[in-house]
Amino acid sequence: MELLNFENAKTDIHRLLISQLDLEKLSRIDGERARHAVSTMIQQIVAAGRVPFNAAEKEKLNGDLLDEVFGLGPLEPLLRDHDISDILVNNKNDVFIERQGLLEKLNISFRDDAHLMQIIDRIVSAVGRRVDESTPMVDARLADGSRVNAIIPPLALDGPALSIRRFGRGPLDPDSMLAFKSISPEMLELLCAAVKARISILISGGTGAGKTTLLNMLSRSIPDRERIITIEDAAELQLSNPNVIRLETRMPNVEGQGAVRQRQLLINSLRMRPDRIIIGEVRGEEAFDMLQAMNTGHEGSMCTVHANTPRDALSRLESMVAMTNLNFPEKTVRLQIASAITIVVQVSRMSDGTRKVVNISEITGLDENVINMHEIFTFKKKGIAPSGKVVGVFQPSSIRPRFMEQLQVAGVSLRGDIFDHAMEVN
Ligand SMILES: Nc1ncnc2c1ncn2[C@@H]1O[C@H](COP(=O)(O)OP(=O)(O)OP(=O)(O)O)[C@@H](O)[C@H]1O
Ligand SMILES: [Mg+2]
pLDDT digits (tens, 9 = 90+) for 48-96: 888 888 999 999 999 999 888 888 999 999 999 988 999 999 999 999 9
- Closest-CA residue, ligand 1 atom 2, reads 355
Amino acid identity at 152: I
Sign of the four-CA dihedral 266, 269, 275, 280: negative
Give the ligand 1 atom nearest the CA of 207: 25
Residue 236 pLDDT: 87
Residue 69 pLDDT: 86
Q: Where does ligand 1 bind, in terms of residues with CB under 6 Å?
A: 85, 165-168, 172, 177, 180, 182, 205, 207-213, 355
- The pick from 212, 215, 230, 349 for probing ligand 1's pocket by mutation, whose C-beta has the most ligand atoms within 8 angstroms, reads 212
Say how many Å lie between the CA of residue 276 and the centre of ligand 1.
23
Phi, psi of 314 (to 5 degrees): -70, -40
Say how many Å lie between the CA of residue 235 and the centre of ligand 2.
10
How far apart CA 195 and CA 174 sit, in angstroms, is 14
Say how many Å lie between the CA of residue 208 and the centre of ligand 2.
7
Say how many Å lie between the CA of residue 138 and the centre of ligand 1.
21
- The pick from 81, 218, 355, 358 for probing ligand 1's pocket by mutation, whose C-beta has the most ligand atoms within 8 angstroms, reads 355
Say how many Å lie between the CA of residue 108 and the centre of ligand 1.
25
Question: Which of 22-31, 133-142, 290-299 has the weakest average pLDDT?
Answer: 22-31
Helix (H, G, I), strand (E, B) or coil at 304: strand
User: Residues spanned by CATH 3.40.50.300 within the chain?
Assistant: 174-425
User: Residues spanned by CATH 3.30.450.370 within the chain?
Assistant: 72-169
Give the ligand 1 atom nearest the CA of 180: 3
Amino acid identity at 75: L
pLDDT digits (tens, 9 = 90+) for 176-228: 999 999 999 999 999 999 999 999 999 999 999 999 999 999 999 999 999 99
Closest-lying ligand to the alpha carbon of 353? 1
Residue 169 pLDDT: 65
Give the ligand 1 atom nearest the CA of 215: 18
Mean pLDDT of the chain: 92
Phi, psi of 141 (to 5 degrees): -145, 155
Closest-lying ligand to the alpha carbon of 214? 1
Say how many Å lie between the CA of residue 340 and the centre of ligand 2.
22
Closest-lying ligand to the alpha carbon of 347? 1
- Cα atoms in the Cβ-side hemisphere of radius 13 Å centred on 185: 10
- The domain defined by 72-169 folds into Beta-Lactamase (3.30.450)
pLDDT digits (tens, 9 = 90+) for 231-246: 998 888 989 899 999 9
Residue 21 pLDDT: 83
Q: What angle do CA 249, 117, 122 make, to 5 degrees?
A: 55
Q: Are 282 and 266 in contact (CB under 8 A)?
A: no
pLDDT digits (tens, 9 = 90+) for 93-129: 999 999 888 899 999 999 999 999 999 999 998 888 8
Long-range contacts (CB closer than 8 Å, 24 or more residues apart) made by 40-44: 41/17, 42/13, 42/17, 42/66
Q: What's the Cα-to-Cα distance from 178 to each of 184, 187, 235, 328, 414, rounded to whole Å?
A: 6, 10, 26, 43, 18
pLDDT digits (tens, 9 = 90+) for 302-330: 999 999 999 999 999 999 999 988 788 99
pLDDT digits (tens, 9 = 90+) for 337-361: 999 999 999 999 999 989 999 999 9
Pairing type for strands 343-349 and 201-205 reads: parallel
CATH class of 174-425: alpha beta
Say how many Å lie between the CA of residue 11 and the centre of ligand 2.
37
Closest by CA position to 191, among listed 334, 28, 344: 344
Strand partners, 205: 306, 347
Closest-lying ligand to the alpha carbon of 172? 1
Closest by CA position to 38, among listed 13, 12, 55, 57: 13
CB-based burial label for 374 (10 Å; 0-12, 13-18, 19+)? middle
